[in-house]
Structure 1
Amino acid sequence: MSRGDEYRVVGYSGGELVAVGSRDRVVRLTDVSDSKEASPLIRGHAGSIRALLLCEQRNLLITASYHLSIRCWDLKTGASTMVLRGHMGTINCLDVHANTLVSGAKDCKVKVWDLATGKCFENLKFKHHSAVWCVKIDTTLLLSSCDKGLVKMWDTEIASLLEVIDAHQSAVKCLFFDSYHIMSGGSDGLVMAWSTNVNAKGCLMTFHHPREVRSVTLSDLRVITGCTDERVHIFSLLTGHCLRIIQTESPILSIHTHANSMIVNTRSSVLLTTITMLPAQAGKYYVNTKVEMTHSERAAYERLLKNKALRHPLSAEAILLKGHPQQKCTFTTAAVEKLQAHERMFMKALCKRPGQHVRFAVLGPPATRDDPMDTFREQVSFRLLTDMQLKEHVRVLSQDSAGRQQRRSKTAEDRQRRMIWRMKIKGLSSSDYTKEDQVYAPELGHDTYI
């Protein structure tokens, strides 16, 4: 496939599994050691997967969906153990610390949940004036960023706002913080370093990128960023110098690091990269191995075709026709009473533009766009017409055409009557405006028509 999956989300906690979710509403687990798909296959969301967290040590997977719900799953059985509802907009981000889960959504709200009881802390009312893109939580500190470029620092114990960072010129898509530092990356191509001490004002360091930054993390005073320019950048937090650039094949969506392992989620694939620091040259990094774990849309489409394979005999009322619902085309068939004799059944396409690819008619409301995930076009209403049905269809079309012609004639007559009336109220004689298909022009001479 030429186009990758820009909606893929990945979860990795440093264990043996990597969780991958996307618009197919299914979360798949991949074994890091052999890059093969592991069980179970997790299903249950009614909408596409927009965010997920993998807590392998706790046997827990947390996912957020387009249909406004958050679900907790058992990694061993694949069963849903808890459903959290409360957001009124699409959930964009998740983070967890101990038994506290935090979520941010397009409803401009940040909600904090108790995983032990499944209840939301209603006293923690954290809000933005635009969609929330990233949230991070620790024992007492919570960070959230929004579409207007603001980063807010909250105290979860006293439920108060500590500081607002207003330095980015556009949406802040990624955050990271530890005991001493805060890292923020935005669509303006800037990654900024801040201090967690609210008394320390100003930016500590700024790292420039040519395009939007989608992921940032800090490890051993090394800033690792993922940019849509298809590169992973490794900077020194002390000097600001770029230590290493790792080239990928497509724009980067997210980066997940643990020890010397790094999972790079790109638009075309998911890569497992091992980074080693040379002992003789401190600060120098090189890529040891790079393993492609998934093939993005090709594998997704193959799984989709497999899942949507027909598991029942075909009938005259349940034949799926593969096509593009744009150009009108009508089908007819003969010998319908002998459908079991496949050699006597045929189909004929009547297209308005012969010589082009056959595209099937949509008997119903037209689709606003072609859904690439609906490979067999199950969401549109195709119909296989018999000869009698085709005649009836042609008769209805003829009636519609005659009606349109009659309406056009009536419109022309009304237009002529209005023109005659305007000439009459000007005081012209009846002979002046009864000339067929002509208009009286007295300025050109007596009894002159054009």
Structure 2
Amino acid sequence: WLRGEVATRYFKGHQDNIYCLAWVGPNKVASGSRDRAICIWDLQTGQCTRFDSGHTGSVLCMRASRDYSILLTGSSDATCKIWSLPDCRLLLTFRGHGHGVLDVCVIQDYIVTSSRDHTIRVWDKTGRELRQLTGHTGSVNALEPLDDRRVISASGDSTLKVWDITTGQCLRTMKGHTYGLACVRYDGERIYSGGQDSQIRVWDPETGECLMTMSGHMNLIRTMDCFDGKLVSGSYDRTLRVWDTKTGACLLSFQSGHSSWIFNVLLSRTKIVSAGQDRRIMMLDFAQGIQTAKLFKEIL
């Protein structure tokens, strides 16, 4: 990580833009696309298992449960679907939104969805809509769980809102971005947000105070992920940047991995996995040489 030494690998299987990615195992990633397919990738072998999503529009977002037992997908067809894992068998379809479903997450026994219709909806796992969370005046582009009761939303209206999903109450609104937001992440201590103003803002989840601004991207920040003191961001400027979450310093910048807009990125202890408009998934593996050296030493 410190030297930026990385092995790069590409995975191809989708026929159109890849909008979303989700971890579905320690070395497995699911992807969703404008081609309406879901692919499950084994990052070690490169093997792809492809499923027809049944969505009548693009697969825009996805999220797996913590135990990797279910996968949620949201689509421009205004529905959310629940799939069993690892077989990707369709369990339920949720209907209620008036426009495309832009993000999904699981909090305890609840499913939470956000939409271009400006609303957030809370469902039980039978597909029954429990409540609507209203207050945003733009598309609700991203969701992130804060704990077992709270979720944070990022909207095209340039604000972040913290909600109690059990009561539907908006607990806090955070303002600071000058244009619409596209992504939000929480690492257990701080909230990170990004969007059209090309800046990442860092927030205190309890006070709503903006603690820091990280600059470097030259276009919309579409996606972020965090792990173990690092944040990775992907942008329409076609670059991936790795940040130190404590200092705000940009540690690494990958300029030429994607030939077009980056829509989604995942981060683990050893890998960055990203996808976008160029219809391929890129894996940056920071541990390949270390693993090989360790294996060689064990053989000797």
Superposition TM-score, scaled by structure 1 size? 0.56
Shift of the 236–6 alpha-carbon distance from structure 1 to 2, 3 Å rule, reads same
Give the Å deviation of 1:157: 3.9
Give CA deviations for 1:228-253 in whole Å, capped at 9, x if unaligned. 22221122223222211123232321
Q: How does 1:388-407 map to 2 (within 5 A)?
A: none
Q: Please list, as runs of the form range in 1=range in 2, the aligned pairs for 1:273-288 lying within 5 A after superposition.
A: 273-275=284-286
Gaps of 5+ in 2: 1-14, 291-300
C-alpha displacement of 1:190: 0.6
Residue aligned with 2:178, SS: coil
Residue number in structure 1 paired with 2:223: 215
Q: How has the CA–CA distance of structure 1 residues 44 and 20 changed in structure 2, closer, same or farther, with 3 Å as cutoff?
A: same
Q: Distance in 1 between matches of 2:179 and 2:16?
A: 24
Q: Which residue of 1 aligns with 2:46?
A: 35
- Aligned ranges 1:208-357 → 2 under 5 Å: 208=215, 209-247=217-255, 248-250=257-259, 251-268=261-278, 269-275=280-286
Deviation string, structure 1 residues 150-204 (Cα, Å, up to 9, x no partner): 1111123443222111111111100011332111011110100010112xx5321
Question: Is the Cα–Cα contact under 8 Å of residues 110 and 127 in structure 1 kept in the other structure?
Answer: no
Partner Cα distance (2:116, 2:271) in 1? 32
Please identify, of 80-89 and 135-144, the stretch whose mean Cα deviation from structure 2 is larger: 135-144
Q: Taking CA–CA contacts closer than 8 Å with sequence separation of 6 or more, which of the two structures ends up with the larger relative contact order?
A: 2
Question: What secondary structure is seen at the aligned counterpart in 2 of 1:18?
Answer: strand
How many Å separate the matches in 1 of 2:32 and 2:163?
A: 30
Equivalent position amino acid for 2:119 in 1: K
Q: Is the 8 A contact 1:140 1:156 kept in 2?
A: yes
1:185 is aligned to: 194
Separation in structure 2 between the aligned mates of residue 231 and residue 58 of structure 1, nearest angstrom:
29
**SS state of the match for residue 238, structure 1?**
coil
CA gap 1:263/1:288 in 2 versus in 1, 3 angstroms: farther
Q: Which residue of 2 aligns with 1:107?
A: 117
Cα distance change on mapping 1:32 and 1:47 into 2, 3 Å: same
Letter of the structure 1 residue corresponding to residue 148 of structure 2: T
Aligned residues: 271
Superimposed CA distance per residue, residues 233-285 of structure 1 (whole angstroms, 9 cap, x where no aligned partner): 12222322221112323232111122222211132220122235xxxxxxxxx
Question: Quick one: which amino acid aligns to residue 60 of structure 2?
Answer: R
Shift of 1:55: 4.1
CA distance in 1, matches of 2:128, 2:65: 20
1:135 matched residue in structure 2? 143
Which segment is superposed worse, 153-162 or 134-143? Answer: 153-162
Q: Which amino acid aligns with 2:248?
A: G
1:95-145 deviations in whole A, cap 9, x for unaligned?
223332211111110011222x222222x5333111111111231221111
Asked whether the equivalents of residues 205 and 237 of structure 1 are also in contact (C-alpha less than 8 Å), the reply is no
Alignment correspondent of 2:98: 88
Q: TM-score, normalised by structure 2?
A: 0.82
Separation (CA, whole Å) in 2 of partners of 1:210 and 1:229: 6
Which has more radius of gyration? 1
Provide Cα deviations, 1:322-357, integer angstroms capped at 9, x if missing partner: xxxxxxxxxxxxxxxxxxxxxxxxxxxxxxxxxxxx
Aligned to 2:181: 172
In the alignment, residue 211 of structure 2 is paired with which amino acid? L
Identity score, percent? 23
1:98 alignment partner in structure 2: 108
Q: Using a 3 Å threshold, how does the CA distance of structure 1 residues 21 and 160 change in structure 2: closer, same or farther? A: same
The whole-number CA distance in structure 1 between the counterparts of 2:186 and 2:173 is: 15
Q: Secondary structure at the match of 1:135?
A: strand
Structure 1: 5+ residue runs without aligned partners?
277-286, 290-450
Higher strand share: 2
Q: Paired residue for 1:428?
A: none
2:203 corresponds to: 194
**Alpha-carbon distance between aligned partners in 2 of 1:82 and 1:65, rounded to the nearest angstrom:** 14
Provide the rounded CA distance (Å) in 1 between the counterparts of 2:106 and 2:172: 21
CA separation in 2, counterparts of 1:157 and 1:98? 11
- Please state if 1:69 is matched with 2:76: no
Partner of residue 126 from structure 1, selected from 123, 134, 140: 134
Does the 8 A contact of 1:227 with 1:252 survive in 2? yes
The equivalent residue for 2:20 is 9
1:427-447 CA-to-partner distances (Å, cap 9, x unmatched) read xxxxxxxxxxxxxxxxxxxxx
The CA distance in 1 between the partners of 2:87 and 2:241, in whole Å, is 38
